[in-house]
Structure 1
Amino acid sequence: MDSEDYLLMLAKAKANLALSKADMKAKRARVERYRKLKAKNSLSQEQLDNAEAEYQISAFTVDLQELAFEDAQLDLQRTIIMPEADYWVTEKLIEKGDWVQKGQTLYRLENFNKLEAVVYVTENHINRIHPGQSVTIYAEALPSKTFTGEILRVGIKPEASKNSYPIDIIVNNSDGLLRSGFTVDARINVNVEQE
């Protein structure tokens, strides 16, 4: 999305607000001058009333211009798309110049601070696995580094092609070394009394 048009509208709204404030200041000064003249009987009540009415109209115009300026700021802010902290763009689904609609997916984002790994466990070990257990992760791409994780979910039926149960693990990747799609092995820490 191009923000140039919105920057121009914001500048225009700012200039209109400044003009309105200057006009209101001049009309306020005229009202004060007319009040002094009226006190000396050098001005009619009608002229003072007209000057006060013009001042009130200019004050309302300033209020409207302030709202227009805030609206222009909001429109500009809406041209900026910022993900929550720690998210990375993994797929761009639009190109410059594309029209977008409210609710349309523009980008796919991933948080790499915590990744999800799926490992498979045979039926001989599945009864010793449960959510919350700690796991040590080894990545083929980083053979000298280990990562910590925790079991999130344990599959309730085996995957037919592997004849093993899927185990979902949340892996701490705060240093950002792991990437989506890395091949990993896992060592699940099972308490001795469970064995």
Structure 2
Amino acid sequence: MKLTRKQKLQILKNVAIELPIEILHFLIVPFALLACNEKSENLPKWAAWFDDPDYGINGDDGWKNEHFPNGKNRTYWARLCWLYRNHIGVFSAKYLGVKVEDIDAGTVHTMGDTLATCNKGQKSTECLVTCKMKDGRERFGYYREIRYGKSKWYCRIYLGWKLMDVSGMRQDNKAQYLEADDKPVLKSVWAINPFKRVQRI
């Protein structure tokens, strides 16, 4: 499947807006974390753009339990790694994000593998999710994994917005995507990682 010219231009627009903030992120976050203590959950207000809107500076359950268990996720190094991995989240959500409640559920259209994000490099796969907002704006999320033959590596591509989270949304089940444990805002994304290790699932 191919992205349309309009979708490609949307990606370029997002990159042009976010890239300067991304550069600032890598410069400011190390200093902003110095103002945090062990009990802190978020960056100081003056650095809020660079925080993670869903999990703050201490990471999600996977980060806490798998990468930095036993409270080590609250160390300076763990927090720095987390925010470098999940950068400018607040900025992205606030200024470019898609509010799930504002999606016109009847326009959500999915092409390809709806379980692509669970693939973890097992095979080459892709999925494109498109939708319209209540104000008529169009949004899309393109996710692709390219396995390098039988090697242990694959390339992961995610462009547009993180709409894979709503790939199954319909008018009759939209409420299921607005529950307390669901993300209320889906961030913009333009990430290409050419060397991801294949995981067993």
TM-score range, shorter chain: under 0.3
Taking structure 1 as the reference length, what is the TM-score of the superposition? 0.21
